[in-house]
Amino acid sequence: MDGPTSPGTTGHPMIMANRITSTPVFNREGEHIGHIDNLSIDKVSGRVAHAILSFGGFLGIGDKLHPLPWDRLDYQPDKAGYVVSLSKEELKAAPALTREDLETLGAGPDWRDDIAAYYGMGPAI
């Protein structure tokens, strides 16, 4: 199974960040549920912590931005996109941010703790 760091169809495990944005995201049933809007990267380790999934809205207006733990994305070359094991209902219930909230991603641990708790992960980075 290909993951975010697997070669997929390119023959190597690397991808440029600007190629990830706008990549479609599907749920396990194969429904298109959104696209990668941005990435949250830990400044010290350089590790991608979250993919920011744009879900809902129209042309970026009224959409919800859901930080998904990077390791929850499974790249599927045949879809030319990522698959998450979440239903639309689970995603709607997941912690979400507004575009304005993105400005404060590094300001405190509360949003990271909420995401870690929702996805059953250990303490946030």
Integer Cα distance of 103 and 48 in angstroms: 17
The predicted pLDDT at position 3 comes to 44
Q: Give residue-wise pLDDT tens across range 61-78.
A: 567 788 899 999 999 999
Q: Identify the DSSP state of 68.
A: E
The predicted pLDDT at position 73 comes to 94
Q: Give residue-wise pLDDT tens across range 10-44.
A: 566 777 888 888 899 999 889 998 899 999 888 89
The predicted pLDDT at position 60 comes to 53
> pTM for this one?
0.76
Q: Which of these ranges, 72-81, 89-98, 102-111, 114-123, has the smallest mean pLDDT?
A: 102-111
pLDDT greater at residue 66 or residue 1: 66
The arithmetic mean of pLDDT across residues 3-10, rounded, is 47
Domains and CATH numbers, the chain: 17-118 (2.30.30.240)
Q: Where are the beta strands (DSSP E) in the chain?
A: 24-27, 32-41, 48-55, 64-69, 74-76, 81-84
Sign of the torsion formed by the C-alpha atoms of 120, 122, 123 and 125: negative
Q: Give residue-wise pLDDT tens across range 98-110.
A: 777 777 665 556 7
The predicted pLDDT at position 75 comes to 92
The predicted pLDDT at position 12 comes to 62
The letter for the amino acid at 68 is: L
The predicted pLDDT at position 74 comes to 94
